[in-house]
Amino acid sequence: MSNETPTSVRRVLAPEYGGPDVLRVVEEDVVHPGPGQVMIAVRAAGVNPADYKGFSGQRSADPDALPIRPGYEIAGTVLALGADTELASGGGAVGDPVIAFRVSGGYASVLTVPAKDVFAKPDALDFPAAANLLLAGTTAADMLHAVDAQDGETLLVHGASGAVGVSLLQQARRRGMRVIGTAAERNFDMVRRFGGEPVAYGAGLEQRVRDAAPDGVDAAFDCVGTDEAVDVSLALVPKERVVTIAAFQRSQQDGIRVVGGGMPESAAFRDRVRADLIALAASGHLVVPVARTYPLDRGADALTFLADGHPGGKLALLP
């Protein structure tokens, strides 16, 4: 245990359901790590749309689940390890830079988590980028797996400039796939930077994709959730090869694949690919563009900005 171990934690939580303005910063006692646990000084907490969806009440408004502690991923340094405990990536000592995913309550200055979810941080990523690598990265890997994407295929990615989209672009390009990605025009360069071919979403999208890929598209990935994304995908690709992470109602109605971190098969797959994605980032082949950072007590501002739907990169909270 470090001599600098704090006695209290600053944590962001939602005591009730609602918009970002329900978030409060509270002081709590630190939780000392037992066997199989690691205490981490959080240097950056990754910010994801799932964070605001969790306390918005859209998914569930169960009063027994309150307060909600947002934050599924963090990067920081080890403050203490439980007895006989190693990180998921092996070894581990006080002061080591690490990534933890999937955790709960990541919007905090200190977090104690299961060691099986803690990995050495690759030097190639700074703390804000590392804190945002794995939720989007494992989701993109899960989507590729769900439709059995094959090397050399042509893919359509809706929302290619978003966090999941940018990770998908990079993972697909590594495997020699061609990716046509939808984005707002101001983000076309971002799509190109990660190896995609940008097309604008909006009226006429189907024809623009047909023009870009006259031989057809093999699989479609919806990282947006709009009817347009689902309709255009279904017009171009058999439904078995369309996957969404956001159009849950349409997935039931139209029989397209859906993946989510709360689904057991997805969760198990995502856990298995964490180390591979970290290795990819360590070798410089998986980059996480960070648009903005905020102090921990401005979590509400970060989530308000993210909820607008066009962040242009990831956001991180810095305790």
Ligand X SMILES: NC(=O)c1ccc[n+]([C@@H]2O[C@H](COP(=O)([O-])OP(=O)(O)OC[C@H]3O[C@@H](n4cnc5c(N)ncnc54)[C@H](OP(=O)(O)O)[C@@H]3O)[C@@H](O)[C@H]2O)c1
Contact residues for ligand X (CB under 6 A)?
A: 48-50, 53, 136, 139, 158-159, 161-165, 182-184, 187, 201, 223-226, 245-246, 259-261, 306, 309-311
How far apart CA 229 and CA 224 sit, in angstroms, is: 7
How far apart CA 281 and CA 274 sit, in angstroms, is: 11
Q: Which is nearer to ligand X, 307 or 318 (CB)?
A: 307
Least CB distance from residue 172 to ligand X, whole Å? 15
Q: Which is nearer to ligand X, 92 or 137 (CB)?
A: 137
Q: Residue 222: which of 139, 291, 285, 286 has the closest Cα?
A: 139
How far apart CA 190 and CA 274 sit, in angstroms, is: 24
Q: Which is nearer to ligand X, 246 or 281 (CB)?
A: 246
Q: Which is nearer to ligand X, 120 or 302 (CB)?
A: 302
AA letter at 319: P
What is the sign of the dihedral through the CA atoms of 283, 317, 89 and 142?
negative
Q: Residue 305: which of 19, 9, 106 has the closest Cα?
A: 19
Residue nearest to ligand X (CB): 162
Q: Which is nearer to ligand X, 159 or 196 (CB)?
A: 159
Least CB distance from residue 231 to ligand X, whole Å? 12
Q: Which is nearer to ligand X, 154 or 233 (CB)?
A: 233
Query: Based on the number of CB atoms within 10 Å of its own CB, is 262 exposed (0-12), middle (13-18) or buried (19 or more)?
Result: exposed
How far apart CA 217 and CA 149 sit, in angstroms, is: 11
Q: Which is nearer to ligand X, 223 or 280 (CB)?
A: 223
Query: Based on the number of CB atoms within 10 Å of its own CB, is 308 exposed (0-12), middle (13-18) or buried (19 or more)?
Result: exposed
Least CB distance from residue 137 to ligand X, whole Å? 10
Least CB distance from residue 125 to ligand X, whole Å? 17
Strands (E), the chain: 8-13, 24-29, 37-47, 74-81, 97-100, 110-114, 118-120, 154-158, 178-183, 197-200, 219-222, 242-244, 257-258, 290-295, 314-318
142 near 134, Cβ under 8 Å?
no
Q: Which is nearer to ligand X, 136 or 277 (CB)?
A: 136
The neighbour count for residue 164, using CB atoms within 10 Å, is 25
Least CB distance from residue 15 to ligand X, whole Å? 23
Least CB distance from residue 142 to ligand X, whole Å? 7
Least CB distance from residue 23 to ligand X, whole Å? 18
Least CB distance from residue 58 to ligand X, whole Å? 10
